Structure 1
Amino acid sequence: MVKDHRRGIAAGIAAGALWGLIFLAPELAPGFAPMQLSAGRYLAYGIIAAVLVAPSWNALRQRLGRAEWRALVWLGLAGNIVYYVLLAAAVQSGGVAMASLVIGLAPIAVTLAGSRDRHAVPLRRLAPSLALSAAGLACIGWDALSAPGTGSLPGLLCALGALVSWTLYVVGNSRVLARITTVSAREWSLLTGVVTGIEALVLAVPAFLLADGMHDSAAWWKFVGIVGAVAMLCSVLGNALWNHASRALPLALAGQMIVFETLFGLLYGFLWEGRWPTMSESAAMVLLTGGVVCCAAAHAPGKPGRGAMLLKVAP
């Protein structure tokens, strides 16, 4: 139990380190529209996933029912297609810091959503963690939105839409994985990739055929390299690690692991911009990390959750 708990936390941190790269992709390909970045990434994800899952495809199909396939369809849309279109638009309109700030609210939203799930601890024990996370995000927000020339209303609205879409995915994916025991975390990630790749085919038509602007061959090869790398690192590897964390950890604690996406996204942004973090950004990173530590301590194995406490007082 303790070993699974620690491995789940390690997997969540590793997933966040990989997911943090998605904030850089729109900056690396500024001439491409958000729909093109999303379609390209998930077409690549679908192709890679199809190749990797092909040897076990027939066996996997027999282990899934209609409910699981429906879940894969809406999870692919919410957590991949819709989320990344909105995120890329937010980054290009409002900048990396503003997008990181808003998406950074996801840990709080997911933790609150998971506070009544099985193995959840009482919400009052999560209060210190949530307070630290909120304070950290406030520091990022103050620094990002007070700087001249940063942020925009369309970018903010896109970031809020991405937050809603991402929260729905994290909560829904965790609950589906808790119910399904016939596939591994890696297999579920690959199946999600195959379904998302099919959905991306529909998005690719307006994204590439109806979009304005021309690019030379060098720009297209750079685009292919960027979306391919993001698909492999963030989608294939990152999602598999996240699925492992989702199975090993209570939803409220897994939600806090999303903080590392924000932390690593900020770190990569500092490296890209060639600067050190400001005082506010440094304070934010310390506070966000403290929030995760407090949440992990509240969920430490051996501490009674809500269900165990009720059993303790039951006659």
Structure 2
Amino acid sequence: MLVGTLFALAAGLMWGLVFVAPSLLPDYPAAMLAFGRYLAFGLIALPLVWLDRARMAQFTRADWIEAAKLSLVGNVLYYICLAAAIQRAGGPLPTMIIGTLPVVIAICSNLRDARRDGRLPWLRLLPSLALIAAGIGCVNQVEIAHLRADPQADLGRYATGALLAVAAVACWTWYPLRNADWLRAHADRSPRSWATAQGVATLPMAVVGFAGVWIWNAATAQPLAMPFGPTPGLFVGLMVAIGLFASWLGTMCWNEASQRLPTTLVGQLIVFETLSALAYAFLLRGQWPAPATLLGVALLVAGVAWALRVRPEPAQAAQAHAT
């Protein structure tokens, strides 16, 4: 339990970095950020395939297809939605919406994995859901007040960002559940090798996607300079850093945690990513969070902490408890 929790903490600290790039590169389209990140991830994974070739040879065609599915939804689609959400709504609100993942994943796991991992009693989850909803509401109120004070603010753009963040939640609810299924079914396989396999599976998508962005920009006469945009050094540096730390190393740490902890528990530990991302967002703003924002963060953490106290029970025991 302790080792698995520490791995989840390390993954959260590194995954928080992915919230930085859209704020530092506001002139870059979300698709370019996503494909650039995973192009770097895939290139980093290539030499790792050679170093780990004995274990990589154990993966079957079905395993590679599964890695491609996980990469498409959990990597590419997720980050396109997230980057676009941050660029439209700022950092705090999308981060808080993503912060609902622990409980969303727990609920989904509760519905599908009760026989394997036990079931969380629904009544015991209700207080955590209420706390998380209140926390998101507090942060949303602060961000809307900030927008109303800005005469150039676009509330429609802000609302679109919130919807994109919800889409990102959907992508990353599916990913850890499906990823945990594979890891639990293949307990003899290396989580590091599985992370590398997902990086390699992402590479062809990233190459095609990045080329597509380039062609689209040329066809529509976009002012964005290709291939690396107006600040090539910052773009390449961020993509390499995020590809190495957030994509490969973060995925490896998450896989280690997923093999050691029940899905309902490991899903809730994504709160570490939320707290890291919020800290990075306000560091970039160069200001302390407003009191209502701090209250919202505290409510979110309290809600997840409350949920962590609820231990899975065998399905029959949980049903008896609910009645």
Q: What TM-score do the two structures reach when normalised by structure 2?
A: 0.86
- Secondary structure of 1:12's match? helix
Amino acid at match of 1:23: F
Corresponding residue number in structure 1 for 2:56: 60
Distance 1:201 1:162, change over 3 A: same
Contact 1:122 1:306 in 2 (8 A): no
Contact 2:48 2:196 in 1 (8 A): yes
How far off its partner does 1:40 sit?
0.8
Which digits, 9 at most, give the CA deviation of each residue in 1:196-239, with x for residues without a partner? Answer: 11211110111223222244887112210011111111101111
Distance 1:75 1:34, change over 3 A: same
Corresponding residue number in structure 2 for 1:86: 81
Corresponding residue number in structure 1 for 2:67: 72
Aligned-pair identity in percent equals 35
Distance 1:35 1:64, change over 3 A: same
Matches of 2:250 and 2:52, distance apart in 1 = 21
Contact 2:52 2:193 in 1 (8 A): no
Matches within 5 A, 1:129-148: 129-148=128-147
Contact 1:98 1:145 in 2 (8 A): no
How far off its partner does 1:7 sit?
1.6
Name the stretch that deviates more: 225-234 or 182-191: 182-191
Corresponding residue number in structure 1 for 2:278: 266
How far off its partner does 1:64 sit?
2.2
- Secondary structure of 2:231's match? helix
Name the stretch that deviates more: 179-188 or 268-277: 179-188
Contact 2:9 2:269 in 1 (8 A): yes
Structure 1's unaligned 5+ residue stretches are none
Matches of 2:184 and 2:144, distance apart in 1 = 39
Amino acid at match of 1:213: P
Which digits, 9 at most, give the CA deviation of each residue in 1:167-223, with x for residues without a partner? Answer: 111221112211112322111111111101121111011122322224488711221
Matches within 5 A, 1:26-37: 26-37=22-33
Instruction: Give me the CA root mean square deviation.
Output: 2.4
Corresponding residue number in structure 2 for 1:119: 117
How far off its partner does 1:41 sit?
0.5
- Secondary structure of 2:28's match? coil
Matches of 2:38 and 2:223, distance apart in 1 = 21
Amino acid at match of 2:314: R
Matches within 5 A, 1:164-313: 164-211=170-217, 212-215=222-225, 219-299=231-311, 305-307=313-315, 309=317
How many correspondences in the alignment?
A: 304
Distance 1:168 1:146, change over 3 A: farther
Q: What TM-score do the two structures reach when normalised by structure 1?
A: 0.88
Structure 2's unaligned 5+ residue stretches are 148-152
Corresponding residue number in structure 1 for 2:150: none
Which digits, 9 at most, give the CA deviation of each residue in 1:144-175, with x for residues without a partner? Answer: 23432365233223222212111111221112
Which digits, 9 at most, give the CA deviation of each residue in 1:6-34, with x for residues without a partner? Answer: 22222212211111111110111122111
Corresponding residue number in structure 1 for 2:97: 102
Amino acid at match of 1:19: W
Contact 2:117 2:264 in 1 (8 A): no
Amino acid at match of 1:305: E
Distance 1:185 1:129, change over 3 A: farther
Name the stretch that deviates more: 290-299 or 259-268: 290-299
Matches of 2:136 and 2:5, distance apart in 1 = 21
How far off its partner does 1:66 sit?
3.1
Matches of 1:74 and 1:83, distance apart in 2 = 12
Distance 1:271 1:198, change over 3 A: same
Corresponding residue number in structure 2 for 1:43: 39
Contact 1:93 1:155 in 2 (8 A): yes
Contact 1:49 1:236 in 2 (8 A): yes
